[in-house]
Amino acid sequence: MIENLEGKFKKCFELATLGETLAFPNPNVACLIYHDECLVSYGIHKEFGKAHAEVNAINNLKEIFSKSDLHKKYKSFTDYASECELILNLEPCCHYGNTPPCTSLIIESGFKKISFSSYDTNPKVHKKSLEIFSNSIFELISPEKLSQEIQEKSQFINRAFFSIRKKEIENRVSTYLSLKIASYPNGNMLTQDGARWITCEESRKDVHRLRSTNQILITTSSTIKADNPKYNVRHSAEDLKLLDIKDPDICVLYNKEKILPENTTSTRKIIYEKLDNLDKQTLEKIISELSFQGYQKIMIEAGPTLSKAFIASGLVDELIIYQPKNHRSKEKFIKEVESSFNYISSKNKIFELENDYKLVMLSA
């Protein structure tokens, strides 16, 4: 049945990323429940501090069980659950945090079959479920028993969470910094020939999704002066494949003049930071300051001067490049971009949009 797992995990990853805006700083997690190869229930971790995906999926299944004829066919819910299979993109928690341990709920509910595609790197949880489940779960498929492709996709959807956790364990500033660049194939980031945009509508919509899934955007007075951007999310949650959307706070970096972005709502916080220099030390201090203020998931949307300075500093965890396809093959585009930014990694991920390519490049 391993081959059926590809499809089940594909669905699991799609559902998990719906919670991306509100689940943070928790990971994106979905729990799917199958019976006789049919999806009978699912749950998503929708919001930090609220019920985990497993709780939502199991409670939903209990309700279905009690309201349908299933309770006539089975002696109890646990009888029915013993025939079901749980699919999860993260190891279930086994400790008391904001919510009770999911491993206990799974065992008490009677489940016997479970597959999960990533271990939780939290030392309180990491691989602990293997022992906890050893007496009660008869069929346990842990990440290393899954295909490389499933494991990599699972890591990718929670890359910010895993990176932040690792930095916390290593006592480093625990932020995840993404830098978004729209450029022409020659690398130019400034619009040419009077054009309003470099990239297509689908790419710009994708940037709105990125804004919603980051806590704060870093921009500059130069870019505000040139573009007067609203830096808000101008698509519906449904359109962006999210459960909810949120405008990020804004951090404006300036050297000479503080400029206020126009049309920003009063509910968003705007922070100003003076840029005395463009060197690593100065940029590092700004990121530490934002981290001190509680920001962890940060995105830079600025022009070439600041973008180049951040790339040179080595502080960027993820570079997101949008470029018009310009009749190039995917392979040619990847080769050109990876070599010009020196971000060559097997973990990089390409997306094909309407007229553009998008490459997410992860720092080593």
Ligand X SMILES: NC(=O)c1ccc[n+]([C@@H]2O[C@H](COP(=O)([O-])OP(=O)(O)OC[C@H]3O[C@@H](n4cnc5c(N)ncnc54)[C@H](OP(=O)(O)O)[C@@H]3O)[C@@H](O)[C@H]2O)c1
Q: Which of residues 305-364 bind ligand X (CB under 6 A)?
A: 305-306
- Confirm or reject binding of residue 187 to ligand X (CB under 6 A): no
Is omega for the bond preceding 25 within 30 degrees of 0, making it cis? yes
Ranked by CB distance to ligand X, the top (closest) residue is 303
Tokens representing 7 are 């499809």
**Interacting residue with ligand X among 223, 232, 296, 323 (CB under 6 A):** 223
Dist CA 324 CA 327 (whole Å) = 9
Dist CA 208 CA 145 (whole Å) = 36
Look at residue 108 and give its three-state secondary structure.
helix
Q: How many CB atoms lie within 10 A of CB 349?
A: 15
Proportion of the chain in helix, strand, coil states, percent, rounded to 5:
40, 20, 45
- Confirm or reject binding of residue 64 to ligand X (CB under 6 A): no
Q: How many CB atoms lie within 10 A of CB 178?
A: 21
Residue type, position 25, single letter? P
What is the closest distance, in whole angstroms, from the C-beta atom of residue 206 to ligand X in the complex? 13
Q: Which helix (H) or strand (E) holds 309?
A: helix 304-313
- Find the part of the chain contacting ligand X (CB under 6 A) among 11-19, 90-98, 218-226, 342-350: 218-226
**Interacting residue with ligand X among 174, 303, 336, 355 (CB under 6 A):** 303
| Catalytic residue (one of 20, 54, 273, 318) | 54
What is the closest distance, in whole angstroms, from the C-beta atom of residue 114 to ligand X in the complex? 43
What is the closest distance, in whole angstroms, from the C-beta atom of residue 17 to ligand X in the complex? 23
Q: How far is CA 123 from the centre of its chain?
A: 21
- Find the part of the chain contacting ligand X (CB under 6 A) among 66-74, 83-91, 96-104, 249-257: 249-257
Q: Which is nearer to ligand X, 53 or 320 (CB)?
A: 320
Whether 108 is a known active-site residue: answer: no
What is the closest distance, in whole angstroms, from the C-beta atom of residue 222 to ligand X in the complex? 3
Active site residues: 54
Query: What residues make contact with ligand X under the rule CB under 6 A?
Result: 181-183, 189-190, 198, 220-223, 226-227, 253-257, 275, 277-278, 301-306
